Structure 1
């Protein structure tokens, strides 16, 4: 039997004495049903044994038997009634407060419901009449709450049943005839549903905000991880490069010291040989000197004359007049060593820049020129990859995107995150500007190329004067004239770098930039200068540096 059918026929389960649903139902011989305790107490308090319903009098006290069928039906009815009461509460239950039953005496059981009409909270046992008695069933039940008097109008002592939309407050029926007479009212349930829907939207918005912040946390963590990867890679490359440089410096220093010491050893060896030879001649001369002295003291005429010819002539010796030891010249030795070291460092730097260039080339994007931004004196190729200047001004619509005063053009593609790279051929030109710009630059007046005005650019003037237009400008000293320039941007890091692609060398970098808008590639071919600067700027496909 369904709950609905049980509740529709609930009157048949009520004891006519206590008006509650049967407890231990029994049947009299006349066929009427009562609670066992109720009928026994009724007969105990009366002189006659009669049926409370049909008034039939029994000569002796009837023997009562439990009506098993009614007991089973009552048990099912109780269960389904309680399920119905439970299902009427909100699907998303919050923790119910521990509200005591107002009817219980002694130890108070936990209230299951509060009645807004009775202003009393009931436990499961004492709630039963509100689930079964027709009159009480019309009362408004709710989850148990304390201080039910707070739900009464303090002025009229009536339940707060309406909501004043004008004053945004809960009122009773009598308030509609007094203080809120001209106001707009709706039932509490209607306003409750509306506010509940608003809370649902609020909850959805809060969940969305939470989700966005969780995503932001993931983004930040990803940025930290990405930064750590970059840092680890840069440290590893730095250690590798500087270890090689250190070894190169130590090797050059050792070679320099070895060369100087070898020269000194050669000089000392030469001096030792000369001294040894001189000492040998001195020894021989001293021997001859002794012989000459001894002969000169002889008084034997014949002996002196016989030995005189052999002692008169000086012993055979070397002519030392032109002999000398010349200290080696160390002039320029350190300079030459440092020069060689510089060449080694240059090779290592070139390798380093080649690695860096390869890395940024991985972020190559396809860039095309935007004709809607081109100055009327600029000519774009059909594939929108080349631009140069001519003296004839085309009749073009002066749309907001177009440059009106300066001969430049932007790329079609915009970038507001991550990294990007593109290459431009500048071969044959004597004058050009290159870089990136923010979206909001003024295109209708003479422009100033500086980061403050939204331009991160470099330029060439007079064929060999290069500058980083950082405001103030920075003069660039380049070993060779770039034929192809690579432009790299890291939006998050605020970095704009320019490379000489063929030389694999860094030209200039803007660092610590703060980008908040879309960035566009910027191209300035400048005037053709009577044909001297007629070569176009050409956006080239990017190929990995060998």
Structure 2
């Protein structure tokens, strides 16, 4: 039989995944053949797009057909291969070139094939020898075990290959998403800049109209002054050239008019200086969080008596049960609120608070460390809060209503003490809620109002820990 043709048929009947004869062969739409189990295992590892392991042709769904011709051909080739292997092993006995005898023994120590006379020589004296058939059977088993192990490793590599193909697709999808995200972010910045440009141009146009109106009025005033001054000069010159009697009788009046003619006040106009200041969500909110995030915890000494604070002092909620608590000048008594343990008198600081779906809450900073005298809103207080279901307001120099597009469940607070700026962010959509600008002159303390519902208010500046609640 032509063994080259047999080798070609063996290659045709080999699975591209396990590299062994195909078991229960199946054919894909693109014409490639695999073991049924191998193809199923390969496709089960994929998520999303299904593709051929050989040509990577994509399929909308798992689709293949049984190939009974290949199954029959594989069985025939296996029988031919067994017959060929048996005949080959029978013809394997070679002749010793030294003694011209068949080599039928195997030296275990030297791993060498010997004839009978070689096994009796001094070189192999005392060495263990056994028949070639026995040694071949033993080593064939070892080799078969090694082949099985190696095939397992090959399958593992193929699985990793399939995984890498899947990761390539995932990487492409991830990069596409990032590109869309970047395009969206820059689109928002362009929209902001466009609106900012239109606003500034309109302000400049209105400023120009007002300046021109004032300037025209000033020019009319100057023209009236010049006209009056010229008439007065002519009148005085006429008096000067007249008779002595006219001069003496008219001079006091003319002199008085010259003295009382007032020069118009100088007109001045200063144009407004415009500087572009991007909102923090466009200028690196992540960098603000990374660089200035600080560890804020609740101050138990300022907490309202009906507030329950966690052991790590990062979570608090209101409980309706009344408590007999001794009066303290540092505690809130008029509403459920408390302050943070850490005060700020310089630098930049950022912290986050989870408000969830609480119907009422207020967050901010204040200048008063001792809360007992707060029977009404104190001065030196800057905060925002939720007052009703859909109403958000600011507390400070002025009261302003906020209309966030997305209801905030987490609020980020960034304090730039030295610049006198306090920013509030809606971390649900990373938008800017409100900005306070003020000249801070004393230590500021984080302020928290919980409302009278039972849902907790949580500080999220550090990883959340198991909460153990105690009364204070």
Task: Tell me which interval the TM-score lies in, with the shorter structure as reference length.
Answer: 0.3 to 0.5
TM-score using structure 2 length = 0.39
Larger Rg: 1
Name the structure, 1 or 2, with higher relative contact order (CA <8 Å, separation 6+).
Answer: 2
